Structure 1
Amino acid sequence: MADAATAARPSSSEQPLMQPGPLARRSPFVTGMTAAAGVAVTYGVVELIIAARQVLLLVGLAFFVAMSLEPTVSWLVRHRLPRWTAVLSVLVVALGVVAGFLAAAIPPLITQTRQFAVQVPGYLQSLQDPHSTLGRLNAQFEVQQRVQQLLSGQSATLAQGVLGAGQLLLDLISGAVVVAVLVVYFLAAMPSIRRALCRLVPADRRPRAILIGNQIFDQTGAYLLGNLITSLIAGTTAFVWLLIFGVPFPLLLAVLVALLDLVPVVGTITAGVIVSLVSLTVSVPVLLATVGFLVVYRVVEDYLLVPKIIGRTVQVPATITVVAVLLGATLLGVIGALIAIPVAAVIRLLLREFVLPRLDHT
């Protein structure tokens, strides 16, 4: 009865059962609910990222391109040009270069594609000639028979493949338009984006963060410009070589080499294999000479052109370059391989500026 009297004293008409007390933070129920909520939120975020993976890739690629163009836009702004005019000027020049390249390359490409279609029957006839190179390869590996077996009864699959190729082309065009629009918005709002990112850093460390951010933007811009220059050199050199040795479709292959050279390591190997296979249609000596040329050019580009054009600014060791490209290609495909080196450069810079000094003083 004494406990009942004691319990009745703090009660009131508004709270007849007394004021409820808080749950203990160490209560098993609270701990379990907090852990379950954390797991549920994490799972939901992961599912959202997976569902929006393609869109996030396009956004990331657009921001990477905008970062690469930002040093040029900033240079124009420093020379008393309004930012919108600077952004418009850079985009007009970039679109003009792309349009000029397409205008110069597409007609010869169409011509050489038609020539290839005309020469296909000749290649098929060479496969049946036991005295030709293709005929000897066909006799040894039964190329024609294997191709016929692969194509027989596969008309539905081929039709689906054609539809899939059309869908892929449509996706590429729409993706390019989305990236171009996002690049315009990112470039126009880049000062605001950089200020917002700097506000995430404590006030006493913002000046150093601004300097590090400037270096990151400079490295990214230098990498994109240097990559374009080395790809142009690779395509031009390949075109001259193929033209001298009479390899079919030199311009088509040179454009392919230039485009694939934009993707480090993986792209150059793929381009080399394709060019070597096409050079085999001329003769085995031309094949061997082309393979040797590609290997020598690969060494020259890796140890002479890239260090001179890109290496001084990006400063990523060769081992880290290869590992970064392979990881990027595995995780994000072609886009991952394309941005792997600048991402590795940024990570290396952050480790050098923030992590290593603390480790050296512990």
Structure 2
Amino acid sequence: MSDSAHSPWVGQPHPEGEPEPISAAEEHAAELASDSHPLGTPGRRFDRRSPFMIGLAAAAGVLVTVGTVRLVLAAHEVLLLVAAALFLAIGIEPAVSWLTRHRVRRTLAVTLVFVVVLLGLAGFLWAAITPLIDQGQALISHAPDSLHHLEDKYPVIRSAADRFHLEDKLRHGVDTNAEGLRNGLIGAGQVVFGAITGTVIVAVLTAYFSANFPSLRANLYRLFPHARRPRAILIGDAIFAKVGGYVLGNLLISLITGVLTFIWLAAFGVPFPLVLAVLVAVLDLIPLVGSTLAGVVITLVSLTVSLPTALFTVGFFIFLRLLEDYLLAPRIMGRTVRVPAVVTVVAVLIGGSLLGVLGALLAIPFAAAVLLLVQEMLFPRLDQSEHRAG
């Protein structure tokens, strides 16, 4: 028995009376090992058509499906953080790739993108955190008084408020929130700690995914058979480009709408312009529903100034919506994301009902990816089958 057949790191010392079949197999294993294949070359495949393999595959499929479903349900919160980080990593990939094409190392490119984002957030918070807190507290605390002021100016609002008891509900909500803030410091601390922890986890995972995106992409494509790999690369890169273009384009459009809203509100003397502009920018990230909800809120606040101001604000948001749909989105996103309006509505509704805000954000790029797969894979096969049948 050759000593080179035994690993010096496993099961030392080997027994002297080791069974002959094992000794022979280890000697043969030593002969199979080489520099190119240190663990030997793969052997021939099992007979997949044998009854044993069919039954084993069926049982394993059921167990894997059940186990996967239970695992997803048990770890859905963590999986959502991972999905958000991967989504953001794919989203910043166009910027990182642009820097790498200009001879910047990938690690440095990811660092530069993160630094720019963090500096932008830090600068915004440094300049606007105090006005945001003051205006936010004033907006919440003065909400009942603003509603009472609207009731005095507009009898229609008074009748609607009396019918639905809006003033009592609004005052009760404000008092409840204030009492909760006073008595629920532990719960509030837990919420803040959870939000900070989730943000840090997403940021770290995003940096990791972005820094290692080329290797992750390569390993993903290695899962496809050799004959189908080139086609998978073309389709996969097209999907990545759609997601990246959507994320960066949506963030830029949201920033533009927030700035325009702040200018409009400040020009017409609408109260709380900064906090309302930030609200518009955040809600505009949510497809379809977000901008509409933001327009309703801003219009109600502008009613406290005057009815003409509210009507002009409605016209401004209609113009802003048209500007976003027909000028900003086509020019910023180009043709990277092209989803029909009906598919967009259905995707956002389904994504929002399944995963909330994150599902609504992921719905459009996911729908774009599905449409690309249908157009490139399903439709050609259906057309060929129809042609053969004819």
Q: TM-score, normalised by structure 2?
A: 0.75
Q: Offset at 1:249?
A: 0.2
Residue 275 (structure 1) aligns with = 298
Pairing 1:161-310 to 2, within 5 Å after superposition: 166-310=189-333
Residue of structure 2 equivalent to 1:348: 371
CA distance in 2, matches of 1:215, 1:34: 34
Quote the offset at 1:252 in angstroms: 0.7
**In structure 2, what is the Cα distance between the partners aligned to 1:215 and 1:283?**
49
Distance between the aligned counterparts of 2:287 and 2:147, measured in 1?
Answer: 35
Deviation at 1:334, TM superposition (A): 0.7
Indicate whether 1:103 and 2:121 are aligned: no
Residue type at the aligned position of 2:85 = A
Query: In the aligned structure 1, how far is the partner of 2:247 from the partner of 2:381?
Result: 32
* Paired positions, count: 334
Q: CA RMSD in A?
A: 3.3
Counterpart of 1:50, as a letter, is L
SS of the counterpart of 2:339? coil
Please tell me whether the aligned partners of residues 130 and 136 of structure 1 are also in contact (alpha carbons under 8 angstroms): no
Shift of the alpha carbon at 1:175? 1.0
Matches of 2:167 and 2:215, distance apart in 1? 61
Distance 1:269 1:169 in 2: 28
Q: 1:101 Cα deviation (Å)?
A: 2.2
**Is residue 68–residue 222 contact of structure 1 (8 Å, CA) maintained in 2?**
yes
In the TM superposition, 1:68-79 aligns within 5 A as 68-79=91-102
Aligned equivalents of 1:328, 1:244: Cα separation in 2: 37
Query: Quick check: 1:320–1:344 contact (8 Å CA) kept in 2?
Result: yes
Range 171-180 or range 129-138, more displaced: 129-138
Corresponding residue number in structure 1 for 2:167: 144
**What displacement does 1:104 show?**
2.5
3-state DSSP of counterpart to 2:381: helix
Please say which of residues 112-121 and 147-156 is displaced more in the overlay: 147-156
* More displaced 10-residue stretch of structure 1: 136-145 or 45-54: 136-145
Q: Which moved more, 1:142-151 or 1:213-222?
A: 142-151
* Letter in structure 1 aligned against 2:229: R
- Between stretches 275-284 and 152-161, larger displacement belongs to 152-161
Greater Cα shift, 274-283 or 332-341: 274-283
Question: 1:136 Cα deviation (Å)?
Answer: 6.8
Aligned residues: percent identity? Answer: 52
CA offsets, 1:257-303, max 9 Å, x none?
A: 01111111121122122212212222333223322322332233223
Given that 2:144 and 2:167 are in contact with CA atoms closer than 8 Å, whether structure 1 keeps it comes out as: no
Structure 2 match to 1:61 = 84
Give the secondary-structure state (helix, strand or coil) at the position aligned to 1:248. coil
- Whether 2:349 is the aligned partner of 1:315: answer no
Residues 150 and 194 (structure 1), Cα distance of their counterparts in 2 relative to 1, 3 Å cut: closer
Asked whether the 8 Å contact 1:231–1:259 carries over to 2, the reply is yes
Please give the alpha-carbon distance, in whole angstroms, between the structure 2 residues aligned to 1:152 and 1:334: 27
Cα distance, 1:146–1:332 mapped onto 2, change above 3 Å: closer
Say if 1:71 and 1:221, in contact at 8 Å, map to a contact too: yes
- Is the 1:71–1:218 Cα contact (8 Å) retained in structure 2? yes
In structure 1, the residue matched to 2:42 is none
| In structure 2, distance between residues paired with 1:151 and 1:304 | 40
Kept in 1: contact 2:143–2:170 (CA 8 A): no
Q: Supply the AA of the counterpart residue of 1:295.
A: I
The 10-residue stretch of structure 1 (156-165 or 238-247) with the greater mean CA deviation from structure 2: 156-165
Query: Structure 1 residues 91, 143: CA separation in 2 closer, same or farther (over 3 Å shift)?
Result: closer
Cα distance change of structure 1 residues 282 and 42 upon mapping to structure 2, 3 Å threshold: same
CA distance in 1, matches of 2:137, 2:153: 27
Report SS of the residue matched to 1:80.
coil
Mark the CA change 1:124 to 1:343 in structure 2 (over 3 Å): closer, same or farther. closer
In the TM superposition, what is the alpha-carbon distance from 1:26 to its structure 2 partner?
Answer: 7.4
Higher mean displacement: 337-346 or 148-157: 148-157
Cα 1:90–1:156 shift into 2, 3 Å: closer
* Deviation, structure 1 residue 186: 0.7
2: CA distance, partners of 1:52 / 1:169: 21
In structure 1, the partner of 2:360 is: 337
Verify the 8 A CA contact 1:71 1:217 in the aligned structure 2: no
Residue of structure 1 in register with 2:103 after alignment: 80
* Structure 2 runs not aligned, ≥5 long: 1-49, 386-390
Residues 141 and 57 of structure 1: is their aligned pair in 2 closer, same or farther, counting only changes over 3 Å? Answer: closer
1:108–1:199: structure 2 CA closer, same or farther, 3 Å change rule?
Answer: same
Give the corresponding residue for 2:382: 359
